[in-house]
C-alpha cells in the first residue's frame, strides 16, 4: 500500500521515528477497521495525531492489547472528523462534548479526543507542531510527541485506570526526546503533579535517576520548600476530582471541600 502525503498544513520538519512496537489487536477484523479509518483520516485535510497505546508502544516497545484507537485533534476539527465518517456510513457518537467523540463500525470503534476528561489539556497547534511521523497500518501519520504523551497521561489516576506506569516507561525510553521546559509549562499550575510523577520514576528506577534533569527537580523542590513556608489556603479545596470524579465525590458532596471540574449524568435516548 502506498503511503499518502501528510496534509498540506502539516509541519514539513517533523522528525520521523521507527516504532519500537505496536499493540496487539483482538482480531484481524479490528486491524482492517483501523487501517480503513487511518486511510480515510489521512485522505482528508484535517490534522490529527495518533496517541494512546499505539504511541506508547512506538516510543517504549511496550506491547499490550488495545480495544480501540485514540485519535487526537483540535476542538474545532472533531466535528469535522465525525461528520466525515458519518457521511461515509459509519456510526458516530458524541460521548462528552467537552472532550470525546467516537466512530463505530460494528463492534469496532476509535476515539476522537480533543481535550482531557477534566478539561485541563485542550489539544492545540503546539501538539501538532511537536509531533513525530511514523508508519502505521500502511499510512504515514503524525504520532503524538513524547512530551505531550506524558502530559496527556498525567491526570489519569483512578481506581479503574492509572497511567503512572506509562509515564514511567516513556521517561525511561524517551527521556532524551522530552522537552522538559515545555512539560513544566503545561503543568505550571499543577507542578506538584509533575513532581509526583518524577518522584515515582526515581523510586521505580533508582539506577536511572539521572534521566530527570537536575534543574527540573531543583526547581520543583524549591517551589515545595517555599510553599511549606506559607499558610494553608483559607478555602477548603479538593483537586482530586481532576484525577477521578467518582473517587473524590464524597469530598465535595459531604465533606465541605470546593471541587474543581464536574461531571453530569448520561442522557437517555
Query: Around Cβ 235, how many Cβ atoms within 10 Å?
Result: 7
Report the pLDDT value the prediction gives residue 8, as an integer from 0 to 100.
Answer: 43
Q: Per residue in 192-227, is it b (16+ CB within 10 Å) or e — as a string?
A: ebbbbbbeebbeeeeeeeebbeeebeebbeeeeeee
Reference 166, options 138, 134, 140, 204; nearest CA is 204
Report the pLDDT value the prediction gives residue 267, as an integer from 0 to 100.
Answer: 52
Q: What is the pLDDT along the chain (269 residues), one digit of tens a residue?
A: 333 444 444 445 799 999 999 998 878 889 999 999 999 999 998 999 999 999 999 999 999 888 889 999 999 999 999 999 999 999 999 999 999 999 999 999 999 999 999 888 999 999 999 999 999 999 999 999 999 999 999 999 998 899 999 999 999 999 999 999 999 999 999 999 999 999 999 999 999 999 999 999 999 999 999 999 999 989 899 999 999 989 999 999 999 998 875 444 555 55
Question: What's the predicted TM-score (pTM) here?
Answer: 0.90
State the DSSP code for 107.
T
Report the pLDDT value the prediction gives residue 191, as an integer from 0 to 100.
Answer: 98
CA distance 195 to 224: 9
Q: Which three cell numbers stand for residue 130?
A: 511537536
Cβ atoms of residues 198 and 220 within 8 Å: yes
CA distance 51 to 153: 11
Report the pLDDT value the prediction gives residue 261, as an integer from 0 to 100.
Answer: 54
Q: What is the pLDDT of residues 54-89, one digit of tens each?
A: 999 999 999 988 888 999 999 999 999 999 999 999
Amino acid at each position: 500500500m502506498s503511503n499518502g502525503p501528510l496534509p498540506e498544513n502539516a509541519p514539513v520538519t517533523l522528525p520521523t521515528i521507527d516504532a519500537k512496537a505496536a499493540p496487539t489487536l483482538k482480531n484481524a477484523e479490528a486491524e482492517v477497521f483501523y487501517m480503513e479509518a487511518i486511510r480515510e483520516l489521512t485522505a482528508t485535510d484535517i490534522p490529527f495525531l495518533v496517541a494512546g497505546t499505539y504511541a506508547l508502544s512506538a516510543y517504549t516497545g511496550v506491547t499490550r492489547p488495545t480495544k480501540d484507537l485514540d485519535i487526537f485533534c483540535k476542538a474545532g476539527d472533531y466535528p469535522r472528523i465525525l461528520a466525515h465518517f458519518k457521511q461515509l456510513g459509519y456510526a458516530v457518537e458524541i460521548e462528552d462534548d467537552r472532550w470525546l467523540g467516537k466512530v463505530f463500525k460494528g463492534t469496532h470503534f476509535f476515539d476522537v479526543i480533543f481535550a482531557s476528561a477534566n478539561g485541563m489539556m485542550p489539544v492545540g497547534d503546539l501538539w501538532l507542531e511537536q509531533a513525530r511521523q511514523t508508519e502505521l497500518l500502511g499510512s504515514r501519520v503524525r504520532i503524538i510527541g513524547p512530551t505531550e504523551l506524558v502530559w496527556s497521561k498525567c491526570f489519569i489516576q483512578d481506581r479503574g485506570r492509572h497511567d503512572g506506569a506509562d509515564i514511567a516507561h516513556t521517561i525511561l525510553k524517551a527521556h532524551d526526546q522530552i522537552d522538559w521546559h515545555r512539560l513544566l509549562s503545561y503543568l505550571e499550575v499543577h507542578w506538584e503533579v509533575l513532581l509526583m510523577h518524577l518522584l515515582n520514576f526515581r523510586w521505580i528506577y533508582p539506577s536511572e535517576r539521572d534521566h530527570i534533569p537536575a534543574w527540573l527537580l531543583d526547581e520543583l523542590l524549591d517551589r515545595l520548600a517555599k510553599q511549606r513556608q506559607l499558610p494553608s489556603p483559607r478555602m477548603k479545596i479538593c483537586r482530586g476530582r481532576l484525577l477521578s470524579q467518582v473517587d473524590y465525590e464524597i469530598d465535595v458532596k459531604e465533606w465541605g471541600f470546593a471541587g474543581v471540574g464536574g461531571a453530569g449524568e448520561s442522557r437517555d435516548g
